[in-house]
Amino acid sequence: ATNRTFTMIKPDGVENGHIGAILEKITASGFRIVALKKTQMTKADAESFYAVHNERPFFGELVEFMTRGPIVAAILEKENAVADFRTLIGATNPADAAEGTIRQLYATSMGENAVHGSDSDENAAIEGAFHFSGREMF
């Protein structure tokens, strides 16, 4: 069925000038952009968005990284969106990411890995609603 996922181009992807290339790869791969904006997360935003990771040793580093500059947030729609988008972005660690994936092409490290992709339909809905109101979705 057609469903939705949520993505962010993370601060490293924005800083390194990859917004256009990443959005092109996303749309060329058949995803329709439902919502899109450039924004910056506050510390409270990042702590809440990544609350599932708050016991992890890298949590502080993750919050610091995700708030250091603007991101591009988007809701994407496609058949099998969550799983297909995770295939398109590649493994969390760019060193393990398959050839041609967004992380293999544009990420620099495990922590600074260029893009986020939701891991389930449920989280896609939660994460999309975190960043967008209904009036921003088309």
Distance between CA atoms of residues 4 and 125, nearest Å:
8
116: annotated active-site residue: yes
Among 9, 46, 62, 74, binds ligand CMP (CB under 6 A): 62
Distance between CA atoms of residues 12 and 54, nearest Å:
21
- 10 labeled part of a ligand binding site: yes
Among 83, 108, 111, 136, binds ligand CMP (CB under 6 A): 111
- 43 labeled part of a ligand binding site: no
Place of tokens 């398959």: 98
Among 15, 48, 58, 60, binds ligand CMP (CB under 6 A): 58
Q: Is 83 in the site for ligand CMP (CB under 6 A)?
A: no
Q: Is 16 in the site for ligand CMP (CB under 6 A)?
A: no
Distance between CA atoms of residues 135 and 35, nearest Å:
9
Q: With contacts defined by CB under 6 A, how many residues of the chain interact with ligand CMP?
A: 9
Among 7, 67, 101, 113, binds ligand CMP (CB under 6 A): 113
Q: Is 110 in the site for ligand CMP (CB under 6 A)?
A: yes
Burial of 89: CB neighbours in 10 Å, binned 0-12, 13-18, 19+:
buried
**Rounded to the nearest whole angstrom, what is the least distance from the CB of residue 46 to ligand CMP in the complex?**
11
Please, what is the end-to-end C-alpha distance for the chain in angstroms?
Answer: 18
List the one residue out of 62, 78, 63, 70 whose CA is nearest residue 6: 78
Q: Which residues bind ligand CMP (CB under 6 A)?
A: 53, 58, 61-62, 92, 110-111, 113, 116
**Catalytic machinery residues:** 116
